[in-house]
Amino acid sequence: MEIRFVVISYIATFGGIGVLVAVMLRRARALAQRLPPEDRPWT
């Protein structure tokens, strides 16, 4: 049982963060297409 819970915790943690990152970058790309470059001063 222990090893199963350990693996679940690692997969859930990094899988969850990975999904969030993917959603965030996808949203950023969608917004960037609708905005002029001057609204992204860091680029």
Partner 1 sequence: MTASTTQETVRRPTGTPLTRALGIATLIGLAWFVAFGLFLSPDDVVQKKGVRILYLHVPSAWLAYLAFIVTAISSAAYLSKRTRSLTWDRLAGASAEVGVLFMGITLLTGSLWGRISWGVYWVWDSRVTTTAFLFVTYLGYLAVRGLGGTHHQRARRSAVVALLSVLEIPLVHFSVEWWRPLHQQESIANGKLSGLMLFSLFVGVIVFTLMYVWLVLHRQRLLAMQDALDDHGLEFAIAERREEAVF
Residues that bind partner 1 (CB under 8 A): 1-3, 5-6, 8-10, 12-14, 16-17, 20-21, 24-25, 27-29, 31-35, 37, 39-40, 42-43
What's the min distance (Å) between Cβ of 36 and partner 1? 9
User: Residue 32's CB: how many other CB atoms inside 10 A?
Assistant: 13
Smallest separation, CB 14 to partner 1 (Å):
7
Number of Cβ within a 10 Å radius of residue 33: 6
Instruction: Find the radius of gyration of the CA atoms of the chain.
Output: 17
We find the least distance from the C-beta atom of residue 43 to partner 1, in angstroms, to be: 4
